[in-house]
Amino acid sequence: MSDAEFVAFITEQHTVTVASNGRDGWAHLMPLWYVVRDGELWVWTYASSQKVRNLERDPRATLSIEAGEEYADLRGVMLRTEAVIERDSALVTALGIELYERHAGSDGLPVDQLESIAKQAPKRVAIRFAERARVSWDHRKLARS
């Protein structure tokens, strides 16, 4: 994928699978909703989660976003990243709101939803994934070859 195709693809998808490195050497895979900020993927999750503990120990993470059901329609990206964990409550709250607005499909959440996000934020972290390498594929282009 070109850079423009990459940005369009990650903007239209909603779920990223995050692979962190477990202490026992096994990959720990978890699907998460994300937002794109300045070309980087951001997620929020509970600070006590296994993925956060793994990323605190080793910030390397491999991300996968994919789409398509039939072989000829498969497309996706795999990103090698360095996770940056943010704990600032205002930043975490703002990210939570942005995530919910993106996935609810509208701007402006109801007050009760905003209160719920604000209540969760102290227990959560924001994670920014700084891209170090990228692999992408788009099988729809194979038919044109």
Range of the domain at 61: 3-134
Q: From first to last of its 145 residues, what are the pLDDT tens digits of the chain?
A: 999 999 999 999 999 999 999 999 999 999 999 999 998 999 999 999 999 999 999 999 999 999 999 999 999 999 999 999 999 999 999 999 999 889 877 677 788 888 999 999 999 999 999 999 999 999 999 977 6
3-state secondary structure of 70: coil
In the chain, the number of structural domains is 1
Residue 140 falls within a domain, yes or no? Answer: no
Residue 142 falls within a domain, yes or no? Answer: no
Which residue do the tokens 């994934």 mark?
Answer: 129
Residue 124 falls within a domain, yes or no? Answer: yes
Residue 68 falls within a domain, yes or no? Answer: yes
Cβ–Cβ contacts within 10 Å for residue 46, how many? 12
CA distance 25 to 15: 25
Residue 141 falls within a domain, yes or no? Answer: no
27: left (phi over 0), alpha (psi -120 to 50) or beta: beta
> What CATH number is given to the structural domain containing 83?
2.30.110.10
**Amino acid type, 109:** L
